Amino acid sequence: NQARQTLTNSQTTNQLAESSLLSSQREVKRYSQLRQQGVIPEINLVDKQDIAKEKQKLYAQTQSDVQQAKLRLAEQQSSYERNLRQAHADIEQAKLRLGEQQRSYQTLTLSGQSAVLKIAEQQKSLDTDISSLKSDISQTKRQIDSLKFQLGQREIKASVNGILFQLPIQKPGSVVQVGTMVAEIAQDNSPLIIRAQMATT
């Protein structure tokens, strides 16, 4: 990445500056010996010393650049590691949420299936109750028809309209023989009927 490339470039520049500084320092040393021997004037030595000082400053600057590049790279790596840890944490959280959602879905599915089974059982029970009620209704209707028939067997109906004026049987529960008169009716619109007792003498 860019920070690592910057560090590499800074280190290369620093190495070149160091090499140039060492070379300049050797020149200063050599010119110093020549000056002591009186071979060269002092101005030449001073020039070499000035050049060495500039190279010393440049070397110091390149060292500072290297340190700054190292700091930026370390900061970038630290940020990358933080982001990586956060990404891993987000992934784990997402997995947990997914697991919870899957469990919730499974719970809802099981609950729904249970509800469907319960409704089916209730429907089956209702069908059974309805069948039982229909059977009871049919049986009750048969009982009603039977009772109506029995009641019809116990009723005495006159074949004509009229006025009942003689009822020989007075007690309930009496037993009569076939052909026994149980009532006498004066038919409507019939000639005058007189019922009386007359002395025979």
What is the structure's pLDDT at 201?
A: 67
pLDDT for 9 beyond 80? yes
Mean pLDDT of 150-161: 73
Q: What is the helix (H) or strand (E) element at residue 184, kind and residue range?
A: strand 184-187
> Is residue 84 one of the residues assigned to a domain?
yes
- DSSP letter at 66 equals H
Mean pLDDT of 28-34: 92
> Is residue 26 one of the residues assigned to a domain?
yes
Boundaries of domain holding 85: 2-106
Q: What is the pLDDT of residues 93-136, one digit of tens each?
A: 999 999 999 999 999 998 888 899 899 999 999 999 999 999 99
User: CA 170, 171, 172 angle in degrees (round to 5)?
Assistant: 120
Q: Is 6 exposed, middle or buried (0-12, 13-18, 19+ CB in 10 A)?
A: middle
> Is residue 169 one of the residues assigned to a domain?
no
Mean pLDDT of 65-72: 93
Number of folded domains in the chain? Answer: 1
Looking at the chain, the whole-number percentage of residues with pLDDT higher than 70 is 92
Q: Is 145 exposed, middle or buried (0-12, 13-18, 19+ CB in 10 A)?
A: exposed
What is the structure's pLDDT at 193?
A: 60
Q: What distances in angstroms separate CA 88 from CA 77, 81, 150, one per listed residue?
A: 16, 10, 91
Task: Return all residues near 34 (Cβ < 8 A) that are at least 6 apart.
Answer: 40, 45
CA atoms within 13 A on the CB side of 132: 6
> Is residue 190 one of the residues assigned to a domain?
no
What is the structure's pLDDT at 192?
A: 62
pLDDT for 196 beyond 70? no
What is the structure's pLDDT at 72?
A: 92
> Is residue 35 one of the residues assigned to a domain?
yes
Axis-axis angle for helices 42-154, 2-36 (nearest 10): 170
Helix (H) and strand (E) counts for the chain?
A: 2, 2
pLDDT for 16 beyond 90? yes
DSSP assignments along 77-117, one per residue: HHHHHHHHHHHHHHHHHHHHHHHHHHHHHHHHHHHHHHHHH
What is the spatial distance between Cα 14 and Cα 22, in angstroms, rounded to a whole number?
Answer: 12
Number of neighbouring beta carbons within 10 Å of residue 31: 20
> Is residue 133 one of the residues assigned to a domain?
no
Mean pLDDT of 32-61: 92
> Is residue 130 one of the residues assigned to a domain?
no
Tokens linked to 141? 């209707």
Q: Which residue has the higher pLDDT, 35 or 188?
A: 35
> Is residue 149 one of the residues assigned to a domain?
no
Partnered with residue 187 across adjacent β-strands are: 162
Tokens linked to 116? 């469907």
What is the structure's pLDDT at 73?
A: 92
